[in-house]
Structure 1
Amino acid sequence: MLVSAVGIVGLRVLVSRYERSVSQEHLLDEAARQRRTAVSGPLNYLLIGSDLRANDPEGGQRADTIVIAHIPAGFGQAYLVSIPRDLRVEIPGHGTDKINAAFSYGRAPLLSATITQLTGVSFDGAAIIDFSGFRRVVDLLGGVTMCVDTRTRSIHTGHQFNLGCQQMSGAVALDYARQRYDLPAGDFDRQRHHQQLLKAIMVKASDDGLVTNPFKLDQLVRAVGSSLTVDTNGVPLQDLVFALRGLRAGDLVGLQVPAHAEMLGGTSYALVDDPAPGLFAALSQADVASWATANPKWINKL
């Protein structure tokens, strides 16, 4: 009991320090924001992976990864819903374009407004992490295990990814997760690999006892802090982390927004398919488990 109490106190102290070290901004458009005063499920969070590069800070940012994290009441599971970055949508004030263009036009607020207009889902919070943050987290963990299911070569580095499960450093894991060319399902495979990387990080963190080791957690806090921007919707970050502390890698379920690739006017887009409105409704009505059971085709193997 004493060890448990010390661990809980240590976690709260570290997260309190974390709250002071990470950037906190209003990432959500007011029309996309769910009004809450405490952490209570179900929850929907907007997670954005940015391609900002430390060696080219003036090169701008794009939303390389867009994920809705849905956490049902009870916080015993988390559904990762990947949104295709080429999804053809109406962007408020900018007409029809690919959804990741919303981030370029108006950063996270416009992207959140675009997603809410498309899906009807409002958000309890949001977070942006850049590439350097992912690399540092993986390297701090000593690498992660990723299982390559399609032999491919990186268009960025030329690295050859052979079949099978293998240990990857932060740079290699991120490089693999970003590939989409020459993969059978293109960007849809890429979305699945993003989800697999998130799960691999959680698996390694759990195996290393990161969640229960205040010293290791402190290292991670300092490593990722400068790469992470959050909007907790007014809820103290330590309360959110404490509420979700029981989630483990086995609790993650990867989902794909039903869509297909199509060329329109010489441009490749992703267009939503019929089951998509049902998924969006399930996110709003906290019935994602039922939708997933009825639509196993769109569950990603993690």
Structure 2
Amino acid sequence: MTPTVAETASEGGRGMSLGSVVDPGPGGPDQEDPERRRRGLRALAYGVIALLVLVLLAAAGVVIVTQQLGSQVGRYPNVFADVDPSTRPADSAGQTFLLMGTDTRSPEATTGTDAAPDAVFGSQRSDVIMVASIAQDGQSASVVSIPRDSWVDIPGRGKNKINAAYAFGGPPLLIQTVEQLTRVHIDHFAVIDFAGFAQMTDAVGGIDVNVGVPSERDGVVVPAGEQHLNGAQALVYVRERYNLPAGDLDRVRRQQAALRAFVKQALSAGTLSSPTGAYTLVDTVTRHVGVDDSLSNTGLAQLAFGMRDLRNSSISFLTVPTSGTGTEGDQSVVYLDQTADNDLWFAVNNDQVPQWVAARPQEQLSDTPR
């Protein structure tokens, strides 16, 4: 049976008496106002519960807390087993995730034969590729999207779209490809199922986005302008591609905008200050997030606790600089601006993304992506 939040807090407290840490004041416990003392105990209890039910998803897939919730997170085994250590970049002080978003309900193939002529048909779809990095001090973070059509070198496969790496060799080859491209050491691999994004959005009470171009799919309408989207609308918003002026590049921006709005809503709408709301949110998130098996439940909890002071305004959402689009054979591709990209990845490696963004504010995700 799933434990209640109160039971979880009791277990996490390891038998600590809440009353023992309440100072009764100079008058002694017998002379204190009973109602005031009950209010103080309730406030402290909720504080302890909130601490144990910390939720900080920053795109990335950050989850927390109890063994029960942590065990809901899917684990991908042996993700780094086939990655040659001698080819890997030096590890940096912070934590870096390679975040892949999949869309298991979408009928549109994004890997397999649509991603590369000789890729394995029916491979799991890879719609989103992001490098999420958390600074060592936990005060800032960045989420950098790499367009799935980026034309890159894939180790052992030559030039191809970056999302073909997953179809060719699963997580290990995708990690190798991203590390070779960025020279950023990947600490962990995480997957978000965008098919579950609707449930995650509803768990925080919806998200606020400024929609540049209206979208409609399966009878669900997302109007233009400032909108409060429910889960079904949010899913339409992040899936749109063909009706956007810049195609997949605009969809990347929408996906970032949705994640940014999700984090903002979770942090500012009182969700985390409510034990029930926090537990519901974490329960939902953990059902739609997977990580590599080197990240234990304890590691998840430590990661979340280390990010307890992170604020939405301290998270930079960026797309790796590009130099244009074109075709390679019968494939439409995106060309990366290697010089500008190297500057960005250097900033990621050295916890200098806020300074990088300050010098290039136009690179930050706008308030009104299409």
- TM-score (norm: length of structure 1): 0.86
Structure 2 unmatched runs, 5+: 1-42, 56-63, 109-120
The 1:187/1:9 distance shift into structure 2, 3 A limit, reads: closer
CA offset at residue 158 of structure 1? 6.3
CA offset at residue 234 of structure 1? 4.3
* 1:135/1:174 contact within 8 Å kept: yes
Letter in 1 for 2:254: H
Q: How many residues align?
A: 296
CA offset at residue 126 of structure 1? 2.1
RMSD: 2.9
Partner of residue 202, structure 1: 263
Query: What aligned pairs does 1:1-302 form with structure 2 within 5 A after superposition?
Result: 2-3=44-45, 4-11=47-54, 14-26=65-77, 27-28=79-80, 30-31=83-84, 41-53=93-105, 60-149=123-212, 151-154=213-216, 156-157=217-218, 159-231=220-292, 233-234=294-295, 236-259=299-322, 260-273=324-337, 274-302=339-367
CA offset at residue 157 of structure 1? 3.3
The 1:210/1:41 distance shift into structure 2, 3 A limit, reads: farther
* 2:49/2:275 contact within 8 Å kept: no
CA offset at residue 10 of structure 1? 4.8
* 1:35/1:124 contact within 8 Å kept: no
CA offset at residue 46 of structure 1? 1.3
CA offset at residue 110 of structure 1? 1.6
Question: Within 2, Cα distance between the matches of 1:282 and 1:89?
Answer: 21
Q: Secondary structure at the match of 2:302?
A: helix
Question: Within 1, Cα distance between the matches of 2:197 and 2:262?
Answer: 9
CA offset at residue 6 of structure 1? 4.0
* 2:53/2:278 contact within 8 Å kept: no
Q: Secondary structure at the match of 1:276?
A: helix
CA offset at residue 82 of structure 1? 0.7
Letter in 2 for 1:210: T
Partner of residue 60, structure 2: none
Q: Which has the higher strand share?
A: 1
Question: Within 2, Cα distance between the matches of 1:62 and 1:20?
Answer: 25
Letter in 2 for 1:128: V
Letter in 1 for 2:362: K
Question: Within 2, Cα distance between the matches of 1:70 and 1:11?
Answer: 19
The 1:22/1:132 distance shift into structure 2, 3 A limit, reads: same
* 2:209/2:227 contact within 8 Å kept: yes
Partner of residue 5, structure 2: none
